[in-house]
Structure 1
Amino acid sequence: MLSYATIGVTDLNKSEAFYTELLAPIGAKTLMKMDRIIFIGKSMKEPMLAICIPFNKEEQHCGNGNMIAIAPGSIEKCDELYNKAIELGATCDGAPGQRIPDLFYGAYFRDFDGNKIAFNHFG
């Protein structure tokens, strides 16, 4: 159902380097790159993350309550990718942990522009 989700960034090259290195362990890479938007994922037929300079050329803003969640496939991968995000310069916005017993595990961070991202695992 989901084709891609887009987040606004201020530095396209810095953000591309961050997200491609962060998501490489789950098979993601830059799939399409244009002047102001880059699509990152496993393939154009699977859900992707798009990073972009806002179309209206105004300042990038993060929405309160907006978040993108990425399911890397296991609790261990959630921890691995969360720790990698922090090593790459992201800030913690909720340390890895079980949120709903036996159902939902999450690890939250904010990127350089304040976009909130979660790595999660159901089950």
Structure 2
Amino acid sequence: MFTHIMVGANDVPAAKTFYDAVLGALGHGEGNLIGEGHGVGYATSGGFFAAVTPRDGNAPSFANGGTIGFAAPGPEAVDAAHAAGLAAGGTCEGAPGPREMFPGAYGAYLRDPTGNKLCIWQAPKA
């Protein structure tokens, strides 16, 4: 369904540190600087994620109510990614744990250094 997701970043080195930590804990490699250093990108067979400075030159902003979910293989990976994100400059938006709305799911929420909201998610077993 998705080809890519891009979020705004006001500090590309801080974004790279944060996403290298979070996505690294989920088994993805280190991000690559893109656009002459105006962003950092992470490619997988399922799509592309990037944190970039806005092309229009205006300040980046985050969506109120918007959340980007990253898949985790299990609760341990959720815990590790959440801890890595906090250690790399993120803030907690919801501690790791079961998600009652979705029985069997386990997740955690973070905000990156710019304020973009992320969910690290281990989906319920089918």
- TM superposition shift of 1:31: 4.5
Deviations 1:67-112 (A, max 9, x none): 1110121111001110111111211101111113633221001111
Counting aligned pairs with the same residue, the percent is: 26
What is the rounded CA distance, in whole Å, between the counterparts of 1:88 and 1:32 in structure 2?
18
What is the rounded CA distance, in whole Å, between the counterparts of 1:32 and 1:2 in structure 2?
21
Retained in 2: the 8 A contact 1:78–1:119?
Answer: yes
Moved more, 92-101 or 2-11: 92-101
- The residue number in structure 2 matching 1:51 is 51
Deviations 1:27-64 (A, max 9, x none): 232256223232114x3x32232111011110111110
What is the rounded CA distance, in whole Å, between the counterparts of 2:18 and 2:92 in structure 1?
15
Amino acid aligned to 1:13: P
What is the rounded CA distance, in whole Å, between the counterparts of 1:85 and 1:110 in structure 2?
8
Q: How many residues align?
A: 121
TM-score between both structures, scaled by the size of structure 1 = 0.87
RMSD: 1.7
What is the rounded CA distance, in whole Å, between the counterparts of 2:74 and 2:4 in structure 1?
21
Retained in 2: the 8 A contact 1:107–1:119?
Answer: yes
In structure 2, list runs of 5 or more residues that go unmatched. Answer: none
- The residue number in structure 1 matching 2:70 is 70
What is the rounded CA distance, in whole Å, between the counterparts of 1:105 and 1:17 in structure 2?
25
- The residue number in structure 2 matching 1:38 is 40
Task: After TM superposition, list the pairs within 5 Å mapping 1:1-123 onto structure 2.
Answer: 1-25=1-25, 26-31=27-32, 33-35=34-36, 36-41=38-43, 43=44, 45-100=45-100, 102-123=103-124
TM-score between both structures, scaled by the size of structure 2 = 0.85
Structure of greater relative contact order (alpha carbons < 8 Å, 6+ residues apart): 2
In structure 1, list runs of 5 or more residues that go unmatched. Answer: none
- TM superposition shift of 1:22: 2.6
